[in-house]
Amino acid sequence: MSSLYSQPITPKRIGAVVLAAGQSRRMGQPKMVLPWGQTTVIARVAEVLLEAGLAEVIVVTGGSYTDVETALQHLPVQTIFNPQYTGNDMLRSLQVGLGKHHENIQATLVALGDQPQIEVDTVRALAEAYQETGSPLIIPSFNNRRGHPWLVSRTIWPNVFALDAPATLRDFLNQHRDQIHYLTVTTPSILKDLDTPADYDRERPDFTG
């Protein structure tokens, strides 16, 4: 299976942590495994990250974790369960995912499991920006609005691990605002995810077989 995907982009090994532990309360059903074209929402996210050539993709599960794991079993990704998935923020899931990364991974993309609109070009642009700038935090921006996925260097992972609830990922980014390199992109896909049935109906690709 791995032969279908690109090799790692550079010697600076970059991975991804996919935050997929939510309970899908607003969707009313497990959104990670909803159909997305010929695949599922979560599988599409993983496929894009792999196609972009990332060295390691880790998916952090929680609600409906058995369904998510089944949806990903045909892909060369790792899954890990976050037992504290009922919390309101994704901080703990990121901590769990970072702790699973191989020691050779130097930076990771923080991706959303409910963002199947993610684009290969965006992922590659973030990786290239990291290689060029060495910035510990790189966030895509569209029309002056920041989105996902964003990149965080291993050099500041200890600051993620140091946070405890009620701190959130927003707090982490605010603490490091002076270190952020904003990458301007031309696609609004970085701002999109799937929270409600209306989001899904509006965004899902047409598929006729």
Burial 64-84 (b: 16+ CB within 10 A, else e): bbeebbebbeebebebbebee
Determine the pLDDT at residue 23: 75
User: Would you say 145 and 126 are in contact if contact means Cβ atoms under 8 Å apart?
Assistant: no
Determine the pLDDT at residue 3: 37
Determine the pLDDT at residue 202: 93
Determine the pLDDT at residue 96: 96
Determine the pLDDT at residue 12: 60
Polymer length in residues for the chain: 209
- Residue 11 burial class via C-beta count within 10 angstroms: exposed 0-12, middle 13-18, buried 19 and up: exposed
Paired tokens of 208: 């006729």
Residue type, 18: V
User: Would you say 124 and 52 are in contact if contact means Cβ atoms under 8 Å apart?
Assistant: yes
Rounded Cα–Cα distance for residues 202 and 153 (Å)? 34
143: left (phi over 0), alpha (psi -120 to 50) or beta: left
pTM, rounded to two decimals: 0.91
CATH 3.40.1260.10 matches 2-201: no
Using alpha carbons, select from 130, 107, 131, 111 the residue that is nearest to residue 120: 111
Determine the pLDDT at residue 88: 61
Q: Taking the CB of residue 46, how many other CB atoms lie within 10 A of it?
A: 29
pLDDT tens-place values along the chain, 209 residues long: 333 454 444 436 999 999 999 877 778 688 999 999 999 999 999 999 999 999 999 999 998 899 999 999 999 999 999 998 887 679 999 999 999 999 999 999 999 999 999 999 999 999 999 999 999 999 999 999 999 999 999 999 999 999 998 899 999 999 999 999 999 999 999 999 898 999 999 999 975 44
